[in-house]
Amino acid sequence: MARPIVVTGAAGFIGRNVVAELNRRGEDEIILVDELGKDDKWKNLVGLRYEDIVSPEEFLGLLEEGNFADARSVIHMGACSSTTEKDADYLLRNNYQYTRVLANWCESHEVRFVYASSAATYGDGNDGYSDDDAVTPDLRPLNMYGYSKQMFDAWAMKQGLLSSIVGLKFFNVYGPHEDHKGDMRSMVNKSFDQIRCNGFVRLFKSYNPKYKDGEQLRDFVWLGDAVDAVLHFAEQEYGAPGGLFNCGTGRARTWVDLVTAVFHSIGKEPNIQFVEMPDVLRGKYQYFTEATTEKLRKAGYMRVFTSLEDGVREYVGYLTKRAE
């Protein structure tokens, strides 16, 4: 029997697509870890091939009993990814403490560990978006989600674990199977629905004089590129070099660029309306994100990231077919 691969957050956005890509590569000895809850997240599992699925709590119990010690890798995509989550204790347990347990277990059993960090750790971006180790301890996230990710990054660095484990700081990832995220869905997904229902898209006004309405900038990442980066590192044996790396294109684009690409992919002319930003977001809003990619390239990941227009075109094709 093949050695298993463990994927946490396996019914979530990136995790689900990691499992699908593993299947495409001929892998089905996969242990899925996730909490399905009472909504429709379970639908993300339909069509996937895997050995078993267990809850996060059950998984920790199985590890204590000595299970999965022969795992090839643990791909830890499981986390609460809501940037507006207010329960700080929940975020600490789910995003920080749980990840510590898995990282320590992987180290003690010599299992490759790849986990999801986030560009939210960079806060307002005033100090740049460098993933250099000298910068990481001093980052100042704007929300508790970003802080929970930052806490683990800093802890892993302090423990010396980043010499062997890999953290990927995902920027704005978009693509199929994100519907369960609700308001945390990508703007590509939201724009598609708004255009179909209303014929126009609403974007937040800018409250920073450096940026016109809709010209706030983000590093938008096609899902396929994020999955490929995860597996590039996860398929390496334990003992391969680790590190904390940005997962972004290195080229920021505006929200208007993104929405225009959605309209053009549907075959319509852009119709954008600008609306007030909720007060709760105004002081915690990132006006510019752009990954530095030199460290990722030096680690051997050389794939060219998909352009915004090509990624949006592919995603809109998927959404259109699903809506028919």
Query: How far is Cα of residue 261 from the mean position of the Cα atoms in its chain?
Result: 22
| Phi and psi, residue 106, nearest 5° | -65, -40
- pLDDT computed for residue 285 by the predictor: 84
Residue 287 annotated in active site: no
Is 122 noted as a catalytic residue in this protein?
A: no
Residue 86 burial (10 A CB sphere; 0-12, 13-18, 19+): exposed
Low-confidence stretches of the chain (pLDDT beneath 50) = none
For 39, the enclosing helix (H) or strand (E) is none
At 137 the pLDDT is 93
- Domains of the chain plus CATH, in order, are 5-173+220-248+288-306 (3.40.50.720), 177-217+252-287+314-323 (3.90.25)
pTM of the entire structure? 0.94
Beta bridge partners of 76: 8, 115
Backbone angle region of 123, left / alpha / beta, with phi > 0 → left and psi within -120 to 50 → alpha: left
What pLDDT was estimated at residue 37?
A: 85
pLDDT (tens digit per residue) in 61-85? 999 999 999 999 999 998 877 666 7
CA distance 141 to 145: 8
Q: Which of 43, 181, 190, 284 is catalytic?
A: 181
- Catalytic pick from 96, 115, 122, 145? 145
pLDDT score for 184: 85
